Amino acid sequence: MQQRKSRIFIIYFLLLILLGSIHNIGVNKVKLANISKINILGLGIDNNDLIMERINNLELGNIFFIKKKKLQRTIEQNTLVEKYDIFKVYPSSLYINIQKTNFLARMNYNGVNFIIGSNGKFSNNELYQKELPYIFGSPKIDEFLHFKKIIEISKLEYKDIKNFYYYASGRWDIEFINEIIVKLPIKDIDNAIQLVFEFLDRSDLQQIKIIDARIKNQIIIND
C-alpha cells in the first residue's frame, strides 16, 4: 500500500514537472515573438507608408514589452497626426488608428509658407490646395489656437474669414470674405466679437468697410 502511494506521488510529481516545462516553453516562445505585423490607418497611403517605414527601423521588441515611447515619438513626428490609438492584437500584431489634424490657416514662417494644423504644428503648404485664411504677422501658434477657440465659441462663422492680422501688441484684426475688416481689442475679445456679431446681424453691410470694436461696448464704423 505504501509503495503504491509512493508510485502515485512520483507520477504526480513528474507530471507537474512536465506540465511546468511545457508552460515555460510556451511563455518563452511568446516572449521571443517580436512584432511581425503593423497596420496603420487614417492618413492616406503615402503618409501611412512613411510612418510605417520609420517604425520598421525601430526595434520595438515583443508585444508584451513593446518599446512604447519609441513608437509614440515616431508617430508624433508626423505633422499630420492629431491623435492616435495603438491596439495590440496577440500574438504579434499592432493596429495604429490615426486621426488627421484639421488645417486651420496659412502663415509665413522664416520666409516660407506653412499650414497650421489644429495639433499646433506646421505642415507643408502644398498638402492642401483649398482656400484657408492667411495670417499676417508673427503670432505664436498657441496664440493663434487660443484666438481660434474664441471664434469657435462665438457666433461668427470661421468659413467666412479670409485673413487674420496679428499685431505685436497682441491684438487681432479679422478680414471677412466680403472684405469687411473687424478691429478687435487686446482684452475682452469674446465680448467684442459678440457685439460685432449682433451689429452684423442687423445692419446693412453694403457700405461698411471697417468695424472698429477696440473700445469697450462701442462699435465705430468706417466706410
CATH number at residue 81: 3.10.20.310
Residue where one domain finishes, among candidates 85, 100, 115? 100
CATH number at residue 122: 3.40.50.11690
Domain count for the chain: 2
Whether residue 172 sits in one domain with residue 141? yes
Whether residue 218 sits in one domain with residue 118? yes
Whether residue 95 sits in one domain with residue 189? no
Q: Which residue has the cell 516572449?
A: 31
Q: Is the pLDDT assigned to residue 21 strictly greater than 50?
A: no
Asked if 160 and 177 touch (Cβ cutoff 8 Å), the reply is yes
The three state secondary structure string of 158-183 is HHHEEEEEECCCCCEEEEECCCCEEE
Mean local confidence (pLDDT), 157-161:
95
C-alpha span between 102 and 117 (Å, rounded):
5
Whether residue 115 sits in one domain with residue 58? no
Instruction: Say if 191 falls within a structural domain.
Output: yes
| 112-148 per-position pLDDT tens digit | 999 999 999 999 999 898 999 999 999 999 999 999 9
C-alpha span between 221 and 223 (Å, rounded):
6
The total number of residues written for the chain in this structure: 223
Instruction: Say if 112 falls within a structural domain.
Output: yes
**Domain span holding position 39:** 33-100
Residue 123: how many other CB atoms lie within 10 Å? 17
Whether residue 111 sits in one domain with residue 218? yes
Mean pLDDT, the chain, as a whole number? 85
| 33-92 per-position pLDDT tens digit | 677 888 999 988 888 999 999 988 887 877 788 888 889 999 999 999 999 999 988 888
Task: Output Rg (C-alpha) for the chain, integer angstroms.
Answer: 30
Whether residue 204 sits in one domain with residue 126? yes
Residue where one domain finishes, among candidates 41, 72, 100? 100
Whether residue 141 sits in one domain with residue 162? yes
Q: Is the pLDDT assigned to residue 5 strictly greater than 90?
A: no
pTM for the whole structure: 0.77
Mean local confidence (pLDDT), 200-211:
81
Whether residue 188 sits in one domain with residue 112? yes
Instruction: Say if 20 falls within a structural domain.
Output: no
What confidence score (pLDDT) does residue 63 get? 79
C-alpha span between 145 and 107 (Å, rounded):
13
Instruction: Say if 2 falls within a structural domain.
Output: no
Whether residue 166 sits in one domain with residue 58? no
Whether residue 214 sits in one domain with residue 112? yes
Whether residue 216 sits in one domain with residue 111? yes
Instruction: Say if 171 falls within a structural domain.
Output: yes
Instruction: Say if 131 falls within a structural domain.
Output: yes
Whether residue 202 sits in one domain with residue 110? yes
